[in-house]
Amino acid sequence: MAARDEWEPLDGWNVPVLLRGKVELVADGQLSSGDGGLVRGLRAADGQDHSGEAVEVLDWEDLQIRTYDNGIHPAYWPPDLSEYGVRSGEGNNVKEANFLAAAAGIQFLERGLHEYNAVGLWDHYYGNTGELFVLSSAVVDQWMVEMNTDYGRGGLGEFVDPPGPLVLMDREYAINRAVQIAKGRGASLKYTYSSRWRLTAGISGDYVHSLGRHSSSTLTTVIARPYPNGVTYVQFDQVVYYFDHYDFAYHDTRWGAWQENMVNVAYEGMRLGIAKPFEVQGESAPVTGFRAV
């Protein structure tokens, strides 16, 4: 069954779906069979983020990982601008003082700490355009392997995880799931797994001062070919997605840390209307491999 480049909506989802052969879509445990499709942007009509998985059964010669397989991720949404410019009527002397304090912060990040990614994001914030900032794949590749974080809990019932373990766990889950389904059916297939957005943070200074706590998701595509000898040959391709709203909230400065002071400078810059929150996106280069299971 050859691939078809055709876009159609899928009931219950507010995103387009690419139809490619016989696809079975699983979203939060609900399976629909037939001519379904792979969801690009796994945000359901209820407005909530979902993980999702899809099984694609195609002819042997069409079982390959294509570039568009890497384009599946949870939906993005714009930052909250409700506090932007609420103090814009203040005098120019107040705005100038904030801008000078922010410039001192940039100098410290660049010349003192040599954290150039943090400098770029801070500078973009005070550029006051609010335009999308795209991280390079090289930066995401560097950050996504970090295995530790100093952050604790996020919101109620949600922990902040370092990216490295999430990437590895999702990869192993997708490979094991693909092998399980392929062996159960006795057929070669392509399996795709996209995780929901999860609260993530690293530990290195440039990473933490650039994004702090942010969202990450993985997309793993696996081709599994079971053989009569009991071995399943696996090819996998994994991409990691980063998403963040670069904005600030007031921070208690009781500890006197320079980071707390910079956060409050940035927060007041937003309220003064001279620094605008923006959306950050990034994706890694594909991580590929082969395995016999």
74 Cβ neighbours under 8 A, 6+ residues apart: 41, 42, 43, 49, 50, 194, 196, 197, 217, 241, 243
pLDDT-based confidence at 133, cuts 50/70/90? very high
- Region 61-72 average pLDDT: 74
Per-residue confidence (pLDDT) for residue 59, from 0 to 100: 60
pLDDT score of 154: 55
Q: Is the pLDDT of residue 6 over 90?
A: no
Query: Tokens 């059916």 identify what position?
Result: 185
Average of per-residue pLDDT values in the chain: 80
Least confident of 66-75, 89-98, 135-144, 178-187: 66-75
Check whether 293 has a pLDDT greater than 50. yes
pLDDT digits (tens, 9 = 90+) for 26-35: 444 333 333 3
Retrieve residue 2's tokens: 């050859």
Q: Can you give the pLDDT at residue 62?
A: 66
- β-strand 278-283 against 133-134: which pairing, if any? parallel
Cα–Cα distance measured from residue 278 to residue 132, given in angstroms and rounded to the nearest whole number: 6
Q: What single-letter DSSP state applies at residue 38?
A: E
State mean pLDDT over 246-275: 85
User: Strands (DSSP E) along the chain, which ranges?
Assistant: 6-9, 16-19, 22-27, 30-32, 38-39, 52-57, 133-134, 189-194, 198-200, 214-226, 232-246, 278-283, 287-292
Band the pLDDT of 3: cuts 50, 70, 90. very low
| CB 236 within 8 Å of CB 220 | yes
Q: Is the predicted pLDDT of residue 93 greater than 90, yes or no?
A: yes
Q: Tokens 């909250």, residue?
A: 80
Give the per-residue pLDDT at 37. 38
Answer yes or no: is pLDDT of 151 > 70. Answer: yes
**Domain segments of the chain: what residues?**
6-292
Which among 204, 269, 284 has a CA at the least distance from the CA of 238? 284
- Where is average pLDDT lowest: 40-49, 143-152, 165-174, 218-227? 40-49
Q: What average pLDDT does the segment 109-118 reach?
A: 88
What per-residue confidence (pLDDT) applies to 286? 94
In which band, very low, low, confident or very high, does the pLDDT at 106 lie, cut at 50, 70 and 90? Answer: confident
